[in-house]
Amino acid sequence: PGQLASYLSGLLIGHELRAIAPADGPLHVMAADGLADAYLSALQSSRQPAIRHAEDAVAQGVHRLARARGLPV
């Protein structure tokens, strides 16, 4: 079961990365460690530069936007 899950995850990541247009600069990866590792490995295999960010970067960004707009947080 674990190997099948990894295989399927790899297929999905590969399909997703092939579906996006080539980037002029590095892609930004924000995910939990295991998932980020899989994306970074796939990106490295395709010679696409990438920058890894902390998995909570999205939540922190949304929180900062909400505060900046005076929304209750």
- 11-40 per-position pLDDT tens digit: 999 999 999 888 889 999 999 889 999 999
> Which tokens hold the place of 47?
């010679």
The model carries a pTM of 0.77
Q: CA 55, CA 32: separation in Å to the nearest integer?
A: 5
Give the pLDDT band of residue 2 (cuts 50, 70, 90): confident
Query: Where do we find the tokens 């010679």?
Result: 47
For 38-67, give one letter per residue: b (16+ CB within 10 A) or e. bbbebbeeeebebebeeeeeeeeeeeeeee
Give the pLDDT of residue 22.
81
Please, which residues bridge with residue 28 across strands?
A: 51
